Structures are given as structure tokens and as C-alpha cells.
Structure 1
Amino acid sequence: MKFIGVLLLVFGAFGLTSAQVLPSVEVVLKEAELYRNSDVEKSFSLAGKALSDACRQDHEPSMAKAYRFNGVLNFMTGDLETASKQFDSAYLLYTKLGDKTGIAASLNNIGVLYQEKSDYPKALDYFKRSIDMKLALGDTVGSTSGLINIGTMYSYMGENSRALAAFDRVYTIAKQHADTSKCIDALINMSTVKLNERNYDPAMDDLKSALRLSELINDQYSRAYCLNNIGGIYQNTYQNALALDYFNQALALRDDLRDLAGLATTLNNLGNIYIRYNDFDRALNSFFQALKYNQILGDKRSTAISLNSIGELLIKKGDFKEASAYFYQGITIAQQLRLRQELRKMYSNQMITYAAMQKIDSSEKYLSLYNTTLDSTWKNIEDEDFLWNNSNAEKKSKYNNIYLWVAPVAMVFVLLLLLLIFLGKTRIP
């Protein structure tokens, strides 16, 4: 099962800073923070006012904080280019001021941007630098933002036990300090890992707890996330009507919030539900909207997933040539990012597509590529690329065992397809 959406990212917009911020700017930014998750337009207006006031008075500590907060808002609404410039401006100002707390917070923000762009090695580097600096300053609570983002990296790459350990540590710290917002973040992320492991009941418990807390503090972004993922559980347990209801609730809320990443996620989920109702036109429309938003955001991983979804639907409609083109685009992106799970799925889809078009050599090529994603050597290379040294004999044995039975099954499947083609039966079940 793929992740339902992008995991919630934490910025910690109002961590402690050693540099004194102008009282007039601080008051406006605190008011902007109150509206950040409920009325983003008002939050933008207040944050812009705070930045203008800080720049007019040429007060660098105030400018740095205002730049960083504006960067958070632009990230939330999908303007990654503007967010990047504002985070960089904040980082340079904090460095000039020697404000280590501000530097640590900015490093985390920049790491989030690299994560959103699917540049995981750089993201991990920035997160670790941020955490190390915060811990050196004695800011255990502040380190939780980086821990959440590191947990997200591990979950993306299939290191679920390490991800859960990071999220559980965040939840423990947040609960001890009565930090409701961080408790929500930790619960949502823990539920996502459990969803990936098909542990639906504990995932639902986490999501319902997070939903109650988000309603308590009027956090509409987290509320939309919970609604989407509850819909995901109903989707995966084939309770389609309930899934459709929760996805539509999430879609409406995310549209109000101008949450482009959230919209893309929910639209992709809706497309899959429409397929179950054999409403292929609405499904295709949902997938194309999701693709558009992912491309606007520059989210390569989600773009690859959307391209694969479109290709799979085109197979169902019998348009194999067009499906192959979308799979090719998705595979190109997934190869660049070394997304093994997505590559495995798209290689399999491309193999079937070429077999249906009677392009036997091409079908065999993608069978070979499919088999490489099951080989333990892929796991070793991936660990090296991402600076993980946690590979062990048990995991290698597990991947070798999978390879031993999946590869022959896949080969038999292709041979059957070729036999059908030889007999003149080109319809693919």
C-alpha cells in the first residue's frame, strides 16, 4: 500500500529565539499564527504587514522571524520558490546575528523544502544538522520538528520501525509538555506508517485521536489530513461509500485552505474510488487534476504516482499505447529518485502493456527490470545512497526469499501472456 498523501511537516514557526524581536512585529506575527491553520488569507495579510514593519525599521532579528513565518505560509499554499527565498533570507540573517536557535529552525525549514522536492539525502542532512544544534542548545522540545521529518524520510524509504520510533519519541515529548499541535503531528504520522503495514485498527485509533485534538484547537489543516486518511482506511477495507464521503469532506476543506498538496492527494484517492464505481471519466479527471497540482508543487514522487494512476486507468479503458507513454514518464522520474516500490509497480504495468501490444522484446525488458527491484543488491545500493548503515542479514534474507518465488511467478505470468498472444487472444483480463 502506498502512503495516503504527503506526511504532515512541522515548521515550529514560534520557537524561542535569542535575538529580541520588536514588540510590534511580535504581536502581529502571533496574531498571524492564530489564523495560520484556519484563515490563511488573513494570516498572509498579517505576516506581510509584520515583514513590512520590520524592513521599514531595518531591524534584522524581526526581519528574520517575519521572513521565516512568511516562508511557512508560502510553503503551505504551494509556492515553493517564494518559500525557499524567504527561508534562505531568514537563514542568512540568523547567521549574521549569530542566533543559533534561529539557524536551527531555518535549517529544519530548508530541509522540509528538499523533502518536498524529493531530494531525500539533502533533506536528511539539514534535519540532522537542525536536531544536533537544538539538542546542543538544550531545546529537547524544539528538536521534535526535525524528528518528525526524519521519521518521514524513513517511512518513505520503507524503514517503518525506525520511523515509528522517531514519531513515538515526538509524541512522548509533546505529551509531557502539553504540546497539542505536536501530539497531532506524531499521531498522524504514526497512523500513516501503520496504514502502510495494513494495521488498520490501530491506525484508525490514532487518526480519531488526532481528529479530536485538531478540532479542539481549530487546526483545519490537520483536520483535513485526518479526514483524508480515515477515508483511506475505509478505501482499503472496501467500504467505498464511507471512503467517498470522507474524501469529499477532505477535498472541500483543502480547497478552502488552498492546500495544493492536500488537494492532489485527495483527488488521487477519489480517482481510485471512482474506478471502483466504474466511473472512469470522473476518475481520469481526478487523476489529471492531481497531476497538475503535483507538477505545480514540483513534487516528483507524487507526480510519478499520478502518472502511474493515469496509465493504469488507460489500461482499463483499453488504450495501451497512451498508457505506455504515461508509464514511461513515471518510470523516468522514479528511476531518478530510486523509488523502488513505485518502480516495481510501473515496471509490471509497462510489461503488461507491451505484451498487450504484442511488443514481446519490450515486455521482456520490463520483466528484467521488474526482477532487479526484488534483488537484495538493490537494497544494498539504496542504503549506501542514503547513508543508512542499518542493513542486516535478516532483511537481506527476506528480500532474497521474496525474489526466489516472485521472479518465477512473474516469468510464468509473462509466458502465459505470450501464449495468449500467439493464439490470437490479445485481450488482457
Structure 2
Amino acid sequence: MIADFFKNTVIAAYFSGIFRPKVLVLITFMISIIAMNGFAQTLTEVENLIVKADSYKNTDPKQAMAFASNALEIARKQNHKPSLARSHRYIGVLHFMTGELNQARSHFDSAYVLYVTLKDEKGIAASLNNIGVVFQEVGEYDKAIYNFNKSIRLKMKLGDTAGAAGGLLNTGTIYSYRGENIKAVSTFKQVIGIAARSRDTSRLIDAGINLATVYINEKKPDSALLLLQKALKMAEKTGDDYSKAYCLNNIGGVYQNTFRNDEAIDYFNRALALRDDLGDIAGLATTLDNLGKMYIRLGDFDMALDCFFQGLQYNQQLDDKRSTSITMNSMGELLLKQGDFDGAVAYLRQGILIAAQLDLKQDIRIMYSNMALALSAQQQFDSAQVYMQKYAGLSSASVSKSENDNPETGALQDIENQRMHFKINYLAIGLAISIFLILVWLFSEQKRRR
């Protein structure tokens, strides 16, 4: 599973299965939260402090929080509701960027209530999007989509096409998590078109990173690398270190997928160092997972396990259920390689439980195959067969669903061809594992007869 956020082998980490998907992308949906022009008039002193905070948000989050907190205190003293709403929402953004999701949700909720009181539709729409982002981060995808859709409809009503693109960006990310790649590609391309017309560099970076993640899942590394390198240049030009770290991590993922090991480790380490400087806990967890996968490939299991444990602690600290599930799978895979079948089954069970709750079809498919192997090693062949049937059924259903839901033909034909390639690969893997299980069963039967 490799990757950053989206997160199999490498890509999957990013994505699919061998590595595990979360890793790669995920990426930058937070940026759509920042712009706040056009809301109810705020006090000049408050606005100036928030502008100062915004100039520090990517380079010195603590200083940004100090300015924003001063703005909130001034708004409270004067009981100025527009300024209170503005300050709460911006502080929520800062908490989100540093992985403090409960605090972020609290401030976004406060901003939403104030905007409703003020009948400020722009503020309501923005706050709904922010609340949706928090739900997205903790894996409550149905709630996230509910809030995103309300926000998108309201923004479209107000003629805020660029703002609606932020909600589309977030929705596309959820499609990616769920393995609905055709819908994700279509959605991210809409965002890129809107952002290009409005010259919104932040959303161009975000959509590029996320679309690259889908391409990684679709095994189109050249297309993914091109998008990520372009996004990296834009991030460096604008001083957006958070997006730069995402790009570095995901470029490392592309190299990991294409077995350019030295380059992969170099980019992961660069991302890790930058995310450490930024205090980006969620990002650290993702990159640690990717490095763990690389160490497994290089045969350094102790270093791999250390990376996974650190990443798991970060994910649990953030209550990031999806990433926790992915890391559980990574640890299960490692223990399986080391011959600790009981430990592998224990971690895989936990990962499967979480992935099932979140309806993460792409992630859980990988876990099913790993669980089948672990149970076979324990000679629990009946149970292993159950998981292989789940794996095969989910693989077929996933491919069929994506094909049936595809509304386009021409531009996405290449992706359809890739999907057929995946289907053949899945069938081959399933056949190989089935043969393995049969051989193990025959061996056990011979031993019993003796």
C-alpha cells in the first residue's frame, strides 16, 4: 500500500493493494478553505490580523495561530458577529492544517452557527465545506458528501463557480478513496478547468496532486509524474510548503511503483523532513508508511516495523480511521513475511473491520487477499477460502461498477483499457492464490492419511 493518501505496491499504498492505498494522495483538499473574501464585513483590525496570519500559515503555523487568536479576542470584546465568524473559521483552518481535527470542527461549527444567524449565504457555504473536510479526514464519508453537496449547491446558486470547485475537489478525493476512479478523474478534470479559468493556483496544485494519485492507481506513472512535477514547481513558486511536501511524497510513490528505489527513498526522506518541520502529523504518518514499504522491499524488516509503529501512533492520535486501517494492513503484511502468522491475522482483522465500516472497497480487497494467505499459513483453510471468495467477489464487483458508471467514452478510453488490464491481473492473482490453497490442502490431506 504505499502511498500518501490515497493509498499497493507503491501505488497502492497509494492505492491498491500490495502496498495499500492511502498514501498517496490525499492531498490538498484543505486549500479550498482559505479564501474568505466577500463575506459579511469584518472589523478592520480583525481583518488585518487575519491577513498577517495568512502570510504565515504555510511557513510558521504557530505565528499564524497567534495572530488569528488575537483577532478572535478583539471580535469577542466587541461582540462583532461577522468578525467572530471570520476568526473562528480561519482558526479552524489552522487547526486542520496541523491535524487538530476536533478543534477545527469546533471552530467551523461556531462559524456556521454565526453565519446562519447573519443570513450570510457565502459564509454558510464555506463553513459547510470546511465541516465536510473534517468528516472526510476522519473517514465519515457519507457525512462529508452531505455537507459538500449542500455547499456546492449554495455556491452554484450564488454564482461562485470557483468556490464550488473546492467542494468538487473534496468529493473527487472521496471517490478516489473508494476506488471509483472514473468518477474521480472526471471530477478532478472539472476542477482543473475551473481553476485554470479563474487562475486559482492553489486549486490547480490540489487537483493536479489528486488526479496524479488516480493515475498512479490506474498504473499511468508517466502521466502522474508529469502532473506532480508541475504541481511541485507551482508550490515552490508560491511558497506553499504543505503542497510541496505532498508532491515530494507522491513523486517518491511514483518512483516506488516503478522500482526506482534510491530515488523513491530520497523523495520520501525529503517529504519526511519537510513535514517534520511543518508539524504535519498526518503527513508524517503517510510518509512513514511509504518508507516502511521501501524498507520491506530492501529486506530491512526492523526499520520497516519501526516506521509502521510510528505511523500508527500518529494516525490513532489524529483519529484517522482510514489511515489506521491501511497501516494495520501494512503491519499485517510485514508480520506475514516474518512468519508471525498470529500477529498478522490480528492486525489484518482490525484493518478489515475499519475498512468495512468506511466502505473502502479498494483497501479492503487487498486486506482480504492478505488474510487468506495468513489463515492458509495457519492451516485454517476453510476460513482462508471464505476470504478468497470475498476478494474475488469484491474485485469483480468493483470493476463492473466502474465500467457501468462511466459516462464518457473518448477521453477516458485509455483508462478503461487500463482497468481491463487490472481485471486480468486480479484474476491471475486470484488463480495463483487458489492454486496455492489447493496445494496446501492436498499436502495436509496426505499428512493426515499417514
Q: What is the TM-score with the length of structure 1 in the denominator?
A: 0.91
CA distance in 1, matches of 2:351, 2:358: 11
| Alpha-carbon distance, 1:6 to partner | 2.5
1:372 aligns with 2:409: no
Partner in structure 2 of residue 55 of structure 1:
76
| Contact kept in structure 2, 1:6 and 1:262, CA below 8 Å | no
**Comparing 141-150 with 167-176, which one deviates more in the overlay?**
167-176
| Contact kept in structure 1, 2:212 and 2:223, CA below 8 Å | yes
| Alpha-carbon distance, 1:285 to partner | 0.5
1:316-360 superposed Cα distances (whole Å, 9 cap, x missing partner): 111111111101111111111222222221121111112112223
Question: Could you say if the C-alpha distance between residues 86 and 403 of structure 1 is closer, same or farther in structure 2, counting changes exceeding 3 Å?
Answer: same
Partner in structure 1 of residue 117 of structure 2:
96
1:122-143 superposed Cα distances (whole Å, 9 cap, x missing partner): 1111111111111111111221
SS at match of 1:11: helix
1:162 aligns with 2:183: yes
Structure 1 runs of 4+ aligned residues shifted over 6 Å read 377-380, 397-406
1:114 aligns with 2:130: no
CA distance in 1, matches of 2:102, 2:373: 39
SS at match of 1:198: coil
Question: Could you say if the C-alpha distance between residues 161 and 347 of structure 1 is closer, same or farther in structure 2, counting changes exceeding 3 Å?
Answer: closer
CA distance in 1, matches of 2:427, 2:230: 42
CA distance in 2, matches of 1:280, 1:320: 15
1:224 aligns with 2:249: no
| Alpha-carbon distance, 1:201 to partner | 1.0
Match of 1:355 among 367, 373, 376: 376
Question: Could you say if the C-alpha distance between residues 242 and 408 of structure 1 is closer, same or farther in structure 2, counting changes exceeding 3 Å?
Answer: closer
Q: What is the TM-score with the length of structure 2 in the denominator?
A: 0.87
CA distance in 2, matches of 1:274, 1:204: 22
Question: Could you say if the C-alpha distance between residues 172 and 317 of structure 1 is closer, same or farther in structure 2, counting changes exceeding 3 Å?
Answer: same
One-letter code aligned to 1:418: W
CA distance in 2, matches of 1:231, 1:68: 34
1:328 aligns with 2:386: no
| Alpha-carbon distance, 1:306 to partner | 0.1
| Alpha-carbon distance, 1:100 to partner | 0.2
1:11-50, aligned counterparts within 5 Å?
11-50=32-71
Partner in structure 1 of residue 28 of structure 2:
8
Partner in structure 2 of residue 417 of structure 1:
440
CA distance in 1, matches of 2:199, 2:400: 40
| Contact kept in structure 2, 1:16 and 1:101, CA below 8 Å | no
Match of 1:247 among 255, 268, 272: 268
1:130 aligns with 2:151: yes
Identify the structure with bigger relative contact order (alpha carbons < 8 Å, sequence gap 6+): 2
Question: Could you say if the C-alpha distance between residues 88 and 276 of structure 1 is closer, same or farther in structure 2, counting changes exceeding 3 Å?
Answer: same
One-letter code aligned to 2:133: V
Partner in structure 2 of residue 309 of structure 1:
330
| Contact kept in structure 2, 1:376 and 1:400, CA below 8 Å | no
1:373-412, aligned counterparts within 5 Å?
373-376=394-397, 390=405, 409-412=432-435
CA distance in 2, matches of 1:234, 1:40: 31
| Contact kept in structure 1, 2:25 and 2:213, CA below 8 Å | no
Question: Could you say if the C-alpha distance between residues 43 and 404 of structure 1 is closer, same or farther in structure 2, counting changes exceeding 3 Å?
Answer: closer
| Contact kept in structure 2, 1:304 and 1:330, CA below 8 Å | yes
1:366-422 superposed Cα distances (whole Å, 9 cap, x missing partner): 223323323539977xx9xxxxx9479x99x97999998776554333112223445
CA distance in 2, matches of 1:5, 1:234: 15
SS at match of 2:299: coil
| Contact kept in structure 1, 2:32 and 2:203, CA below 8 Å | no
One-letter code aligned to 2:80: H
One-letter code aligned to 2:436: F
| Contact kept in structure 1, 2:53 and 2:65, CA below 8 Å | yes
1:207 aligns with 2:218: no
CA RMSD after TM alignment: 2.5
| Contact kept in structure 2, 1:12 and 1:142, CA below 8 Å | no
| Alpha-carbon distance, 1:162 to partner | 2.2
| Contact kept in structure 2, 1:35 and 1:42, CA below 8 Å | yes
One-letter code aligned to 1:54: A
Q: How many residues align?
A: 416
Structure 2: gaps (5+ residues): 1-11, 16-20, 410-415
Structure 1: gaps (5+ residues): 384-388, 425-429
| Contact kept in structure 2, 1:104 and 1:133, CA below 8 Å | yes
| Alpha-carbon distance, 1:423 to partner | 5.6
| Contact kept in structure 2, 1:13 and 1:68, CA below 8 Å | no
One-letter code aligned to 2:97: M
Partner in structure 1 of residue 364 of structure 2:
343
| Contact kept in structure 1, 2:182 and 2:406, CA below 8 Å | no
Question: Could you say if the C-alpha distance between residues 405 and 206 of structure 1 is closer, same or farther in structure 2, counting changes exceeding 3 Å?
Answer: closer
**Comparing 182-191 with 204-213, which one deviates more in the overlay?**
182-191
What is the identity percentage for the equivalent residue pairs of Structure 1 and Structure 2? Answer: 48
